[in-house]
């Protein structure tokens, strides 16, 4: 995109055409910068796993306190926590789990209209601890045929591009480190349609 825009720029005959190709080159450069930054973040995260210590901690305390902090810094959305305030123990890195939640909530904010619902929920399930983030807003395609947790992929309403999927790649890397499963699906919560991301984590005891 950058190369073709610059080549077309050299043959442009009007200021309007030159401005158009400069915008395209600038947009493509920004996209490339996002890709490189995302690759660097993922590489640093994977390296940090070699030094990350796993410890027992209360996931309910981490999730409820983090959600309260999200609402405090983002009054333009309704960010709610549903689940116990304490009592759901697991072994892992609480710092990495907060980073996972940060990425899921950041992703949710990108697709949630102003005043829309973002709900963080936690519950004990037969297969482990179910940590979910639901956001009101645009849906995933029914048959996307693409793993949205792969690098630099973002699919909503059949559109690809724009919002790159580095954040979801980080989510998957942290989930893998904790032996967790992660998926996403269209869902309805409180009468509104949206998307729910679910992370199923091993529970202590």
pLDDT, tens digit (0-9, with 9 covering 90-100), for 164-185:
456 788 899 999 999 999 999 9
The rounded mean pLDDT for the chain is 85
Q: Give the CA distances from residue 155 to residues 102, 184, 204, in Å, rounded to whole numbers and listed in that order.
A: 20, 11, 35
Residue pair 39/47 in contact (Cβ under 8 Å)? The answer is: no
Write the burial class of residue 18 (CB in 10 Å: 0-12 exposed, 13-18 middle, 19+ buried).
Answer: middle
Please state the pTM of the whole predicted model: 0.75
Residue 154's pLDDT is 57
* Residues ≥6 apart with Cβ < 8 Å to 179: 201, 202
Residue pair 124/203 in contact (Cβ under 8 Å)? The answer is: yes
Report the relative pairing of strands 117-125 and 78-82 from DSSP bridges. Answer: parallel
Question: What torsion, rounded to 10 degrees, do the Cα atoms 112, 116, 122, 127 define?
Answer: -50
Residue 131's pLDDT is 98
Q: Where are the alpha helices (DSSP H) in 74-152?
A: 94-111
Whole-angstrom distance, CA of residue 133 vs CA of residue 195: 8
């Amino acid at each position: 995109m950058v190369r073709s825009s610059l080549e077309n720029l050299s043959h442009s005959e009007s200021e309007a055409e030159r401005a158009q190709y400069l915008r395209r080159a600038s947009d493509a450069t920004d996209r490339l910068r996002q890709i490189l930054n995302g690759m660097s973040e993922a590489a640093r995260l994977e390296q940090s796993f070699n030094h990350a210590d796993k410890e027992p901690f209360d996931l309910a305390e981490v999730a409820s306190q983090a959600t309260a902090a999200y609402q405090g810094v983002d009054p333009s959305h309704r960010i709610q926590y549903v689940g116990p305030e304490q009592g759901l123990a697991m072994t892992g890195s609480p710092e990495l789990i907060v980073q996972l939640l940060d990425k899921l909530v950041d992703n949710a904010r990108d697709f949630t209209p102003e005043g829309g619902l973002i709900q963080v929920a936690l519950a004990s399930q037969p297969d482990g601890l179910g940590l979910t983030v639901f956001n009101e807003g645009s849906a995933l395609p029914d048959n996307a045929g693409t793993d949205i947790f792969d690098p630099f992929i973002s699919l909503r309403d059949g559109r690809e591009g724009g919002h790159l999927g580095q954040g979801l790649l980080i989510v998957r890397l942290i989930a893998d480190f904790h032996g967790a499963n992660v998926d996403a699906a269209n869902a309805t919560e409180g009468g509104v349609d949206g998307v729910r991301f679910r992370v199923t984590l091993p529970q202590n005891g």
